[in-house]
Every structure is written in C-alpha cells, then in structure tokens.
Structure 1
Amino acid sequence: MKSVRSWLALLLLTLITAFTVVACSGSGGSTGSATDNAGPIKVGSKDFTEQFILGEMYALVLENNGFKVERKLNLGGTPVAQAGLLDGQIDLYPEYTGTGLLTVLKLPQNSDQKQVYDTVAKDYKEKFNLVWLEPSPMNNTNAFAVTQEVSQKYGIKTISDMVAQGSQLTIIAPPEFQAREDGLPGVIKVYGDPKFKKIIPADPGLRYQALTNGEADVTRAFSTDGEISAFNLVLLEDDKGLYPPYQVAPVVRQETLDANPGIGDALNSLAPKITNEAMQRLNFEVSGKKREPAEVAKEFLTQEGLLKGT
C-alpha cells in the first residue's frame, strides 16, 4: 500500500511539473514585441490638439506591433501628465524636452538641443525612473510669425529684425505675454525692448485671423501651429537663442519597458517621421479642417508605411 501511495505521489508531481513548463512557455517564453499576459499599455496625452494627434499615433503604432492599448488622452497640463506617470495611471505620453527641462526639472534655460535632451533623459531616469525614448526632429518652441507681405515690407526674418522694427509693428499675443518670462520680458532681456506700436491681447484662436486680415503685423506663435504652413507665414528665427528646444519624445515608465521591451523599437521607428512641417500639416487638419485626431493620425501613419496591412 505504501508503494502505491509513493507511485501516485510521483505521478502527480510529474504531471504538475509538465503543466507548469507548458504554461510558462506559452506566456513568458516569447521574445516578441508584446507579451500575452501583459496588461494594456496606458497611453496618455495633454489637453491640446497636437498632443491628441501624437497620443493617437503612439497608440496606433503600439497596437500595430501587437500591444494592447488603453487610451487616456486629454489628461490636462504637464503636472497632471507627469503625476499620472509617477503613480502608474499612465505608462507613457508625449512630452517636450524644453518642458521637461524648465517645468518639471526646474533647470536653467538652454538652447542646445542635444544638451537639453541628454539632461532631461539623465535626470528623469535618476529622479523618477522614467525613460525618454528617441526625440523627433520637430521643435514646438515659442516663436513669432508674420505674413510674407509684412516680412518683405519691413525686412523681418529674425526676432532681432522684429525688435529693430518694433515701433512700426502691432503684435497680437495671449494676455499673459506682457508678464511671462518667456514673453515680452524675455524678449527685452535677450534682444532689447521692441517698443511695439501696439500690443493686442487676445485668445489663441483669434491670433491668426487678426494677422491674415491685417489687424496685426506679428503674432505670438508655436512653431508647429498648423496655420503657419496653411497661410504660408514666415516663422521668425530665434537668432540669439531666447527659447529652449521643445523636441517631442515618448516618456515611458521603466517598469513598463521592462515588461514590454518592444515598446522602444516600435515608437522609435515613428520618431524621425515627425518633423515641423508634418506636424504643422497634421495640426491644421484637426484645428483648421475639424477632422478627428485619430483619423488624421491613422492617415499619416499609413502614408509613412508604419501601419502593417493598411
């Protein structure tokens, strides 16, 4: 009787071991881009047009590489998105190098693209255990824009030119432009006082209308605004390096990368496709033509050959 019990125990142990090996090889043995037992990758974004498009692009590329994705777009501003990463509410979202440097890390302004990226990548890893993937060429920095006619009339191609001709120019800008350090005070500090003929405070949605109908000569802009390409505007060169670079890149939780190593390759394949010109066009498709960000993102990725089978 004792030998029968020993034999049954040995048989049961053998069956359990075999089942465990099969189960492990089915769930964790694959080295593919997505693991079968992983939860969805939670993709976030901030609360404006460009971020909606970028968030959708990240989500679509990941889904196309076999990952399950949960969209958590339109979270709010930088503090909300950053907090979401740190507490695990999201796994990744698109962030700008200049925002990471100034807003999150509270470090001094720096106009060197590589130095800024290297700094935020190093400090985010050390302080937050967050990883910056490869940055895109696009640089959504603070800027000033004029029409072709104004550029030719006053000989304006740089911010220095704008300041030199300031007394003849009317500028339209957000209400906080005259107080923010990256607004008029920053211009005065680096370039001198333009002594604008007139400053019109206005909501962002009214700036380009006023510029194109001649009510203003200069507008405060962001370098990837869709209206820049749509209206063939001249973006003034920041010839003295007032503004830091704002390259965009996915910022990802290290734990998420460890569990899903294919995320890096998938999103890095997208990075070089996102240029200023591409982002201006995509932004205008949404803000100007009122199309859905998901539709615009999918169309772009398909054209660039980043979606398989489409």
Structure 2
Amino acid sequence: MKNNPLLHNLFLWADRHARGHRNPAPFTRANPSGGSGDRGGGLSRFTQAIGWLLCGGKSALHAIASLPHRLFPHRQPFPASTSPTVLMSLSPPVSKRNYFRFFSLTLVSAVLMFAIAGCNPGSGGLGGRADLVIGSKNFTEQVILGELVAQHIENQTDLTVDRRLNLGGTFICHTAVISGDIDTYVEYTGTSLSAILERKPISNPQKVYNIVKEAYEEQFDLTITEPLGFENTYAIIIRGEDAEIYNLETISDTVEYTPEWQGGFSYEFIEREDGFPGLAETYNLEFAENPQVMDMGLMYRALVENKVDMVAGGSTDGLIQTLGLVVLEDDKNYFPPYDATPVIREATLQKYPQLREVYAQLGGVISEEEMRRMNYQVDGEFRRVSNVVREFLATKDFPPIDSAKDFSPIDSAKDFSPIDSDS
C-alpha cells in the first residue's frame, strides 16, 4: 500500500480521524493494553473494522453493521451471530459530528477495501485469489500463529498465501472458515467444545480432541489437525501486590475478597459455557457490581490501573510476568483443556493434499514457554510478528515435502498428549 502514496495517505488520514484529536496515539497491547499484536499494535478501531471488511461475504455484511460499535463502543460488543438489523438498532446515540465521522469512514472503508484488493495479488483483486487464505482471531497470539502457519506453508510448498489476520473473535473466524472466506485458522479445543459445539466442559484433553475432531468433520466438513504442542487455557489474574498482601494463590482464596472487588472480562468470556457463569457458580464468586465487559486487550491495562481487580486472560500471555501480575491456580479444575489446533477446510485439503504433511510437521512443534516468549517479543519488545515467527521457524529442522508422495489423511486416532483423567 505504501507504493501507492494516495492510498497510503488516505489510510493514515482515516485512521488518525477515527482516533480523533484527543487520542492521537495508536492503542496497542504493548502500551500495555492489547490489540492486533503486530508492531505498532492495532492502529485504531477503524483499522480493525477494515480487517473485518476484508473478510468478505457474510462477514463483511456483519462488519459494516458493526461499525458503529467498533468506532463508538459502549463497552458492550456483540457476537457474530447477532443480525445486522439488531446491531444497527442497538447503536449508541452519537452526535451529528460522530454521524458524519461514521458515514465518511464507512465510505472510506469501502474505497480502501476495493483498493487494497486491487493492489494485492493475493487478495482476489486484479492478480487473482491466492491459493490459500489464512485467518486469525484478534489478539497477539492468534496473529503470531496465523503468520506461523502462513510462513511454514510458503517455506514448504509453492502455494501462495493471503493473510487475513486479526479478523475478530471465535464466531467470526468460525463463520469465515465455514463459508470459505478463509481456508484455515488456529482454534483451541476447549473453545471448539464449549463455544462452537455447545458441549459441557470435559477435563480430558484426548477426549476433547476426539469429540471436536469428529464433530467438525461431520457437521462442518472441517479437519482438525494435530495440536501445535501447547495449551492456552483461561487464566484468572490479579495484581501481584494483592496476591502478596492477602496471601492469594488459588481462585478459592479470593472468595472472601471478591464482594469488594470489580471484575473485568471479555464479552465472549461472560457468555460462554466455560466462562464466567460457570466459574462464578463453581467458586461461589460474588463481586461488588456486575463485571465490566471489555475488549481482551483492555483488561491488563485496567488491572494495572486499578480499574478492575480480577480479569480472565490467557496462560501464555507474555505480559503477565512483565506487569507483575499473578495467575491464580484453578484449584477446582474448572477450565477444560485448550490445546491450540489448526482448523482447515476439507475441500482445501482435497485440492492441495500436500498440506496434510505440512500440517503434520507442525504437530507438537511449539511449547508453552516458546509461545509465551513469542508473545512477549511482540507485546513487550514491540517486534514485528513476521520477524519473530521467521526466527522461531529457523530453529526447527523441517524436512522438505516430497511432492510425489501419496498423502494419506491425518490419523484421527493418534494420541497427542497424556490423558490426565477419565472425566
């Protein structure tokens, strides 16, 4: 885009205008707050809306209807399943000036969407659609994993890859892969089980994997490949000074203090079967007020600034240690396993069978410590995602793919991790 000065300047003007003069600086996880995860973070909610628009199809319709909430949020995001009509009717009241901003930015969004598609050979413009479209959710780890899958495919095959990273939450990515807007993204087994399949949480990692794999194949024509090797479970997090003052080590230890605390959780965590409702019931947690609903990227900043006292983050988040935060032990084993596992369309595997071995090579390749380190390199050291991923892959010795090989389907019965329980 920088090769086109007019388009580049238009994009920068729109982003600056979306943030407004009162907050000219980009809002990033590394500030620390969360966001896209690439160097410089998510430029603004305008930029995130552009990412939604580039998803195309039904996702684009939902993105356009969601723009009032993206640009003028009132701390109450809505899932992808919410109809565009409902979203528009629920838009918060804004001034005439903000209406002008909204409609002007919507117009700019449409212009940029088609301009970018026309300038990028891999995005379905004048140069045609790339062989594969890889998506990701909208937080640092997901952007890293999407880039990692993309680079590994490019390194091991002659396939061209279009990156549509930082799309949105679970339901947006799931809808995009089912509809064919993207071919693949990385999901977490516990999320698939509870949020997508709406099953009760199970603590056995192998059982969860098998259930999800079978259901995805039968219901969605999607293949679950081998897990990447690490788990990113929900982590209940508090400030380090609170943990020290009150001698808090487990979630159960906080029960006597939460009536005076303020919780802060993402909309998805508030609504999910394996989220806040079950957590509060399991541990008998009661807060002074209803938990604040906020973007995942806002939670650490709110916690550090004493605006909330407890949040639900990810166990592999690189900023936990950097900010002096403490992860409380899930002493009642409430959360199910969340093994990071690529999801890919079966039609894509049929078209490019060499991808079966490419994905098999990624099985077990990332440890929890390695994922935490990559997250920190992006969030804490402000490094580019592409460089962090490139350096990581360079440490792995992947054999070349034999293009003449008869690729067989991935073995769904293969055990990937020890079974810790029979539940």
- TM-score (ref. length: structure 1): 0.74
Paired position in structure 2 for 1:72: 163
Alignment length, in residue pairs? 269
- The 1:206–1:42 alpha-carbon spacing in structure 2 relative to 1, beyond 3 Å, is closer
- Structure 1 distance, partners of 2:247, 2:193, is 34
- The answer to whether 1:119 aligns with 2:214 is no
Q: Which amino acid aligns with 2:179?
A: D
User: Any idea what SS the aligned residue of 2:243 has?
Assistant: helix
Q: Any unmatched runs of 5+ in structure 2?
A: 1-129, 401-423
In 2, distance between residues paired with 1:93 and 1:150?
A: 37
Alignment partner, residue 349 of structure 2? 257
1:122 is paired with a residue of what secondary structure?
A: helix
Whichever of the two has the greater Rg, that structure is 1
1:18-167 matches, within 5 Å, as: 40-74=131-165, 75-167=167-259
- 1:43–1:73 Cα contact (<8 Å) kept: yes
Q: In structure 2, what is the Cα distance between the partners aligned to 1:46 and 1:216?
A: 25
Q: In the aligned structure 1, how far is the partner of 2:212 from the partner of 2:322?
A: 33
- Cα distance in 1 for partners of 2:337, 2:242 equals 26
CA contact (8 A) 2:189 2:338 kept: yes
Q: Which amino acid aligns with 1:230?
A: T
Task: State how far apart, in whole Å, the 2-side matches of 1:222 and 1:163 are.
Answer: 21
- 1:206, CA displacement in angstroms? 4.3
Assess, with a 3 A threshold, how the Cα gap between structure 1 residues 102 and 202 changes in structure 2: closer, same or farther.
Answer: closer
Equivalent in the alignment of 1:28: none
Asked if 1:248 is matched to 2:336, the reply is: no
Residue of structure 2 in register with 1:173 after alignment: 264
Conserved? CA contact 1:172–1:207, under 8 Å:
no
- Superposed CA deviations along residues 9-67 of structure 1, whole A, max 9, x for unmatched, are xxxxxxxxxxxxxxxxxxxxxxxxxxxxxx72332222332221111100111111123
**Aligned amino acid, residue 223 of structure 1:** S
RMSD between superposed Cα atoms in Å? 3.1
Query: Does residue 268 of the first structure (1) align with residue 360 of the second (2)?
Result: yes
* Structure-1 residue corresponding to 2:285: 193
- After alignment, is 143-152 or 57-66 more displaced? 143-152
Post-superposition Cα deviations, 1:122-153, rounded to whole Å, max 9, x if no partner, equal 11111122110111332223221234443333
1:172–1:202 Cα contact (<8 Å) kept: no
Contact 1:50-1:283 within 8 A present in 2 as well: yes
Considering fraction of residues, name the structure with more helix.
Answer: 1
Deviations 1:200-256 (A, max 9, x none): 665544433454466655333222222123335331122223222221111112232
Q: Distance in 1 between matches of 2:305 and 2:395?
A: 34
Gaps of 5+ in 1: 1-38
AA aligned opposite 1:63 = E
Distance in 2 (CA, whole Å) between partners of 1:127 and 1:200 is 35
The AA in structure 1 aligned to 2:168 is: G
Instruction: State the distance in 2 between where 1:56 and 1:179 align.
Output: 29
The residue type paired with residue 303 of structure 1 is: T
Matching of residue 289 in structure 1 with residue 381 in structure 2: yes
Instruction: Please list, as runs of the form range in 1=range in 2, the aligned pairs for 1:167-246 lying within 5 A after superposition.
Output: 167=259, 170-174=261-265, 176=267, 180=271, 182=274, 184-195=276-287, 203-212=295-304, 217-246=309-338
Residue 71 (structure 1) shift: 2.0
1:9-24 paired onto structure 2 within 5 Å: none
Select the structure with the greater relative contact order (CA < 8 A; seq sep ≥ 6): 1
- Sort the Cα spacing of 1:93 and 1:201 in 2 relative to 1 into closer, same or farther, 3 A: closer
Fraction of identical pairs, as percent: 35
Describe the superposition over 1:141-179 as per-residue Cα deviations: whole angstroms up to 9, x where unpaired: 3221234443333222221122244356x3451375995
> Deviation string for 1:237-294 (max 9, x for gaps)?
2222322222111111223223333323322322323233222222232233333222
Determine if contact 2:231/2:339 at 8 Å carries over to the other structure.
Answer: yes
Please give the per-residue CA displacement for 1:74-93, whole angstroms capped at 9, x wherever unaligned: 33333332233233332221
**What's the CA shift for 1:115?**
1.5
Looking at structure 2, the residues matched to 183 and 130 of structure 1 have their Cα atoms a distance apart, in angstroms, of 25
